Amino acid sequence: MALTSALASSLCGLRALGNSFTSRRCANSFARRNAGPREARGGRLWAACFVSAALVAAAGAFLAWSSRSAEDGVAEVLAGRGETLLDKFVEVPCSGDYDGYRRFEGCTPRRCGRGVSDAVITREETLFFLSQASILDLHSGALSLGKQFVNLYRWGLGTVPTLSLLCSVLCSDVRHRIQQKIAETFGISSSSMYLTKPTFFSRINSTEAKTTHDEYWHPHIDKVTYGSFDYTSLLYLSDYAEDFGGGRFVFMDAGSNKTIEPQAGRVSFFTSGSENLHRVEKVQWGTRYAITISFTCNPDHGIGDPILM
Ligand SMILES: O=C(O)CCC(=O)C(=O)O
Ligand SMILES: [Fe+2]
């Protein structure tokens, strides 16, 4: 009891620094302490109750936080939803994975890490890629976007030939902007990077995986899984917590994972070796759209720009 009230008064002192309201309350409780013994006891009892309740609440919050962290391994949000990141880059030491492959000076990673930018591709540009998700009604031109319908005819984007034509311009432009961003960030030459396969569109919802191929949530290393990758990029087309739940991207670092919350137009990119072990959380509801755009330094593994069929 004595201990709690001592704690209470030191907390009171600390709080008094914080704001005048609490300092007034502290002054009152101090006044009570100097009043009659009965009043003083009552004041100490209140303070003790208050501090005990605060301690219990803090312990509860800590336990809830730590059990959540232990459960999903998430400790830090690298790119949160609603944020607009210009250039976020975190350097990590390169793994030795690149040594097992032919080196291409000026391209093969010497500097490794992960970056996120919401300034390379606009949300509007992602509309076009979403239209590839076979949710575009080519007859009416209606594209379902979250809870809204956008009429593509009004934008002059409504016919198949127009879409193909647009892709030949836009797909290539988007790819080159992302490529440029990666090159600038890692201090390499953009012309020494080649698009490689698989470069693909992913549409994930909460239905059961039919084949192991559909099991997108396993931790993996792109260079190990896909071989030719040196730089991986992801262009997100829908919003975490708005269009789908779960589905965050997680870098699995020893002791503290880092998450990226997808949002339309967000580009995340990273060196593809085991310095960037990662996974995607299972999607709990809604549909998550993304494009994986991958680059290699080996011209023999390069492919042309994807074309729209
Ligand atoms: O869609 C994502 O966020 C990540 C996909 C991925 O890890 C991959 O394509 O290798
Ligand atoms: Fe991956």
Is residue 288 flagged as an active site residue? yes
**What residue type is 272 in one-letter code?**
S
- pLDDT score at 168: 64
List phi, psi (to 5°) of 301: -100, 5
Q: Is the pLDDT of residue 153 over 80?
A: no
CA–CA distance from 220 to each of 110, 160, 285 (Å)?
21, 36, 23
The answer to whether residue 46 is domain-embedded is: yes
Looking at 35, 57, 72, the residue that finishes a domain is: 72
CATH number at 130 reads 2.60.120
The answer to whether residue 52 is domain-embedded is: yes
Residue with tokens 């992602």, as numbered in its chain: 126
Among 3, 49, 11, which residue's Cα sits nearest to residue 30?
Answer: 11
Q: How far is the CA of 278 from the centre of ligand 2 (A)?
A: 6
Shared domain for 204 and 62, answered yes or no, is: no
Measure the CA angle with vertex 204, ends 203 and 210; round to 5°. 110
Shared domain for 109 and 220, answered yes or no, is: yes
The answer to whether residue 307 is domain-embedded is: no
Q: Is the pLDDT of residue 32 over 50?
A: no
* pLDDT interval class at 240 (50, 70, 90): very high
- pLDDT score at 200: 81
Query: 188 CB contacts (<8 Å, ≥6 apart)?
Result: 106, 107, 182
Collapsing DSSP states into helix, strand and coil, what is residue 190?
Answer: helix
The answer to whether residue 198 is domain-embedded is: yes
Mean pLDDT along residues 143-151: 49
Share of the chain above pLDDT 90, in %: 47
The answer to whether residue 192 is domain-embedded is: yes
Pure H helices in the chain: 2-18, 20-33, 37-72, 123-130, 160-186, 222-226
pLDDT, one tens digit per residue, over 156-194 is 444 444 555 556 667 788 999 999 999 999 999 999 999
Q: Is the pLDDT of residue 10 over 60?
A: no
- Residue 79: strand pairing partners: 260
Please tell me if the CB atom of residue 12 comes closer than 6 angstroms to any atom of ligand 1. Answer: no
For residue 301, what are its two tokens?
């593994």
For residue 87, what are its two tokens?
């250039």
Shared domain for 126 and 190, answered yes or no, is: yes
Give the ipTM. 0.99
Q: Which domain covers residue 18, as residue numbers?
A: 2-72
Please tell me if the CB atom of residue 293 comes closer than 6 angstroms to any atom of ligand 1. Answer: no
pLDDT, one tens digit per residue, over 93-108 is 999 999 999 999 999 9
Please tell me if the CB atom of residue 234 comes closer than 6 angstroms to any atom of ligand 1. Answer: yes
Angle (deg, nearest 10), helices 2-18 and 37-72: 80
For residue 249, what are its two tokens?
């991207």
Shared domain for 100 and 229, answered yes or no, is: yes
Shared domain for 255 and 151, answered yes or no, is: yes
Most confident of 46-55, 125-134, 205-214, 227-236: 227-236
Q: CA 27, CA 24: separation in Å to the nearest integer?
A: 5
Shared domain for 51 and 116, answered yes or no, is: no
Shared domain for 145 and 35, answered yes or no, is: no
- pLDDT score at 147: 45
Mean pLDDT along residues 16-29: 27
**Count, residues in the chain:** 309
Share of the chain above pLDDT 70, in %: 60
Q: Specify the higher pLDDT residue, 16 or 230.
A: 230
Shared domain for 250 and 101, answered yes or no, is: yes
Q: Is the pLDDT of residue 261 over 70?
A: yes
pLDDT, one tens digit per residue, over 287-303 is 999 989 999 999 999 98
Looking at 38, 72, 106, the residue that finishes a domain is: 72
Please tell me if the CB atom of residue 199 comes closer than 6 angstroms to any atom of ligand 1. Answer: no
Mean pLDDT along residues 144-154: 49
The answer to whether residue 309 is domain-embedded is: no
Is there a contact between 302 and 194 (Cβ–Cβ < 8 Å)? yes
- pLDDT score at 215: 79
- What integer best gives the mean pLDDT of the chain? 74
The answer to whether residue 306 is domain-embedded is: no
Shared domain for 23 and 65, answered yes or no, is: yes
Q: Is the pLDDT of residue 208 over 50?
A: yes
Most confident of 18-22, 133-137, 170-174: 170-174
- pLDDT score at 197: 86
* pLDDT interval class at 38 (50, 70, 90): very low
Looking at 72, 102, 127, the residue that finishes a domain is: 72
Is there a contact between 260 and 293 (Cβ–Cβ < 8 Å)? no
The answer to whether residue 258 is domain-embedded is: yes
Shared domain for 222 and 260, answered yes or no, is: yes
91: which DSSP letter? E
Shared domain for 170 and 272, answered yes or no, is: yes
* Domain count along the chain: 2
Shared domain for 68 and 79, answered yes or no, is: no
84: which DSSP letter? -
Q: How far is the CA of 220 from the centre of ligand 2 (A)?
A: 6
- pLDDT score at 130: 77
Long-range CB pairs of 47-52, under 8 A, 24+ apart, other chains included: 47/4, 47/5, 47/8, 47/9, 47/12, 48/1, 48/4, 48/5, 48/8, 50/8, 51/4, 51/7, 51/8, 51/11, 52/4
For residue 191, what are its two tokens?
């012309």
Ligand 1 atom showing the smallest separation from residue 249 Cα: 3
Q: Is the pLDDT of residue 36 over 90?
A: no
Mean pLDDT along residues 238-258: 95
